[in-house]
Amino acid sequence: MKAISKYNGQHILVLGLGKSGFETAKLLHQLGAIVTVNDGQDVTHTDAYKALSEMGINVVSGAHPISLLENASLIVKNPGIPYTVALLKAAEERQIPIVTEVELAYEINEGAIIGITGTNGKTTVTSLIGDMFKHSEKDGLLCGNIGFVASKVAQNAIESDTLIMEMSSFQLMGINKFRPHIALITNIYSAHLDYHGSQDNYVSAKFNITKNQTSSDYLIFNYKQRELLNNYDIQSKIVYFSADEVVEGAYIKEDKIYFLDEFIMHVKDVVLPGKHNLENVLASIAAAKLSNIENECIVKTLTTFEGIKHRLQFVTETNGVKYYNDSKATNTLATTFALDSFTQPIHWLVGGLDRGNGFEDLDAHVDQVKRMYIFGETTQKFIAFAKQHNIPYTQCDDVKDAVQQTTTYTTNGDVVLLSPACASWDQYPTYEVRGEHFIGQVKLI
């Protein structure tokens, strides 16, 4: 960890006492700052509150009093807190800088950073790159939006380490000097418009990952969305990936994967299913090659990687039927990727929270669906969908019941796919719990 003195004696407000807020407060306290933590909820009963209080850090909870801004020279906010809250609006009026904790991670980090963002696939790509590093002699440390607080991981990183950092658009809105040596954008679609206000704002937040890069850095980018680059002043070297065309970067030609004309492996040996995962694979290869990871380490990852839990995760094969858990597919876009990943007959487990939207986005992706198993608040909508497409269906109580029902209809060579296209909150507290219920029931077959 770099020894920096810029925060010594500075009054800094940490907004939000989540996991990142807790670690940020401790780090700033260690760096000599006078820290105040503020959370809109009452957190006085939490272990984090007690731990910070014992360190002499002031924690104000239950409201966001504007008086907290009186001496503040900086705000480090939880990424999920929108800039529209009154406290942050007042801070902007007073020209108080607002950052997220990834900025602090950059400032104290001694080694290189690979920053990964995008609408879909960023967790898979981050994990793939991390696994490639693991198989090599290089040390790669996963952090960021993948679940490990970046500023905490950076404290223990040394110069030879590489931070492999998954980054959300929320985090990227709060950077000033943050500069990854390798920036990677998987893809950009429409998302989080309730937070950003417009698609243009969302895209701009994603491209913040490149704003401090120089000609000695790299941007790995999806070739099919290259037109987006015309809207930004990119100073870094652009390396493309494409599953459809030969590009300056990672690509597929005659069912073989190449990087800059160097053969890496055969497509058939990649264990992750789906064309969208081929794009994730290509993006990961580009990052690994730019980090001087050996081909054998790349191939070992891509022939053994089991996937991210709840994201098109292979669970098991029983009686010739393969079971996949894609509980993280809480919207139609994610489910289209899952449905398009298989050429085998699909037994599709679908349904969940009714947010008032339709499911016409799925119309062109159900050719392989042999039967639907429908549950949750959207049951009647998906029954109508099944009838519209002449797909046999079974109405089920929940995910467990749906798994049980599949045993009546599946045969050798079929796929059972949980890809709900809906959030879980009508029946399950999280998509993870929903996925675990699926896995648990599959193991009973």
The amino acid that residue 55 corresponds to is: M
User: Do 282 and 212 lie in a common domain?
Assistant: yes
Q: Are residues 211 and 358 in the same domain?
A: no
Shared domain check, 262 and 327: no
Does 122 carry a binding-site annotation? yes
Confidence of residue 187 (pLDDT cuts 50, 70, 90): very high
Rounded CA-CA distance 357/121 in Å is 23
Do 90 and 112 fall within a single domain? no
Please state the domain count of the chain: 3
Let me know the angle formed at the C-alpha of 201 by 20 and 248, rounded to the nearest 5 degrees. Answer: 90
What's residue 326's pLDDT? 95
Are 222 and 173 found together in one domain?
yes
Query: What is d(CA 208, CA 210) in angstroms, rounded to the nearest whole number?
Result: 5
The structure tokens listed for 343 are 């050429």
Mean pLDDT, to the nearest integer, of 261-283? 92
Statement to judge: residues 191 and 128 lie in one domain: yes
Q: Are residues 15 and 152 in the same domain?
A: no
- Residue range 189-215, pLDDT digits in tens: 888 888 898 999 999 999 999 999 999
User: Is the predicted pLDDT of residue 306 greater than 80, yes or no?
Assistant: no
The answer to whether position 5 is within a domain reads no
Residues 332 and 421 sit within 8 Å (Cβ to Cβ): yes
- Please give the distance of CA 274 from its chain centroid, rounded to a whole number: 18
Residue 222, classed as helix, strand or coil, is strand
Cα gap 205→91, rounded to integer Å: 20
According to the annotation, is 123 in a ligand binding site? Answer: yes
Q: Can you state the angle between helices 295-304 and 275-290, rounded to 10 degrees?
A: 150
Q: Mind listing the pLDDT tens digit for each residue in 370-427?
A: 999 999 999 999 999 999 999 999 999 999 999 999 999 999 999 999 999 999 999 9
Half-sphere exposure of 80 (CA within 13 A, CB side): 9
**Contact by Cβ (8 Å): 41, 61:** yes
What CATH number is associated with residue 41? 3.40.50.720
Residue 56 placed within a domain: yes
Give the closest residue to 341 by CA, choosing from 360, 357, 359, 325. 325
Residue closest to 335 by CA, chosen among 351, 353, 322: 351
Is 390 assigned to a binding site?
A: no
> In terms of Cα–Cα distance, which of 441, 434, 135, 140 is closest to 298?
135
Q: What is the CATH number of the domain that holds 372?
A: 3.90.190.20
CATH of the domain at 219: 3.40.1190.10
265 located within any domain: yes
- Band (113; pLDDT cuts 50, 70, 90): very high
Domain termination site, one of 270, 304, 338: 304
Q: Is 180 helix (H, G, I), strand (E, B) or coil?
A: coil
Q: Are 76 and 24 in contact (CB under 8 A)?
A: yes
Q: Is residue 6 part of a domain?
A: no
* 316 is annotated as contributing to ligand binding: no
Q: Is 124 annotated as a binding residue?
A: yes
> Is residue 296, in this structure, part of any structural domain at all?
yes
Do residues 116 and 220 share a domain?
A: yes
Please check if 121 is assigned to a binding site: yes
- Does any domain span residue 245? yes
CA distances from 227 to 187, 210, 356, 394, 436 (A): 12, 16, 33, 44, 40
Residue that terminates a domain, selected from 304, 338, 355: 304
Q: What does pTM read for this prediction? A: 0.81
Whether 203 and 247 share a structural domain: yes
In the sheet where 415-418 sits, what is the strand order? 313-318, 321-325, 415-418, 346-350, 369-374, 393-395
Domain that holds residue 146: 102-304
Three state DSSP letters for 99-124: ECHHHHHHHHCCCEEEEEECCCCHHH
Pick from 343, 342, 344, 311: nearest CA to 328? 311
Domain boundary residue, one of 99, 125, 155: 99
Please tell me whether 16 is known to bind a ligand.
no
In the structure, what pLDDT confidence band is assigned to residue 271 with cuts at 50, 70 and 90? Answer: confident
Q: Report the chain's mean pLDDT, rounded to a whole number.
A: 96
Same domain, 389 and 402: yes
- In 227-367 the beta strands, taken as DSSP E runs, fall at 237-242, 249-253, 256-259, 262-266, 313-318, 321-325, 346-350
